[in-house]
Structure 1
């Protein structure tokens, strides 16, 4: 198995690991997801119908209104939040969403995570030290 290490900046501290769920689409916190299940509900989103529950969510950033904090706080309370978040563009929406989710979150990585990480890769996020360890799929499909 191939391992890759990326270094970035902490948004929310902590450590977590899990299977990656990757999208190149930004995520709408208000009307774009069901916070009770962590399922993307935006019809034209590439992750439509998939849940980020217990995954390491890798995405470019947030879009839409300030509903991010309410939706991701609700997801955490419902037990449907991601284990960790990795994103490219920091806005107040995504930063506050990460804080209320209480999941380790990193940004500003030394390589674009959207070109390195694939859905299904195993990811360890050590946000305290700004380290993301990627274990690539053994048999990519």
Structure 2
């Protein structure tokens, strides 16, 4: 099992499949909160749904609207199950807080290079541990 240690910023525990991006994600213009889908045309996850998965990504890009768009995913029932990111910015942290999903940041190793989309991941934001449960 592969386990990373980070800092939990939104408490809770969640487990599910990972959706991994090596690119930052934009809220305003980058996601469709009603469908929970990445809509930024040049993004590597274009067209993929982040609803009910552990979203693993470097951090947020774009304006302060990021938090509002991710809050909308919570209100519309399309939010990710949990979030793991390393680049801590006010917009990303606020987005995690208003989305109200377990979130771990600043891991001791880069999760975007170690995790693969589809890995079963457990995010324990109470302890700051992120574990790949099906690592080979």
Which TM bucket (shorter chain)?
over 0.9
Q: Does structure 2 conserve the Cα–Cα contact (< 8 Å) formed by 1:120 and 1:137?
A: no
Q: Does structure 1 conserve the Cα–Cα contact (< 8 Å) formed by 2:22 and 2:113?
A: no
- Whole-angstrom distance in 1 between the partners of 2:105 and 2:2: 16
Unaligned runs of 5+ in 1: none
- Encode CA deviations 1:56-102: one digit per residue, 9 max, x unaligned: 00000000111111101110011100000000100001000000110
Match of residue 134 from structure 1 = 132
For the pair 1:69 / 2:60, whether they are aligned, the reply is no
Match of residue 35 from structure 1 = 33
Report SS of the residue matched to 2:22.
Answer: coil
Report SS of the residue matched to 2:127.
Answer: coil
- Whole-angstrom distance in 2 between the partners of 1:113 and 1:137: 13
For the pair 1:116 / 2:114, whether they are aligned, the reply is yes
- Whole-angstrom distance in 2 between the partners of 1:117 and 1:14: 20
Match of residue 15 from structure 1 = 13
Report SS of the residue matched to 2:93.
Answer: helix
Match of residue 81 from structure 1 = 79
Q: Does structure 2 conserve the Cα–Cα contact (< 8 Å) formed by 1:6 and 1:111?
A: yes
For the pair 1:49 / 2:50, whether they are aligned, the reply is no
TM-score where L is the length of structure 1: 0.93
CA RMSD of aligned residues (A): 1.0
TM-score where L is the length of structure 2: 0.97
- Whole-angstrom distance in 1 between the partners of 2:3 and 2:105: 14
Unaligned runs of 5+ in 2: none
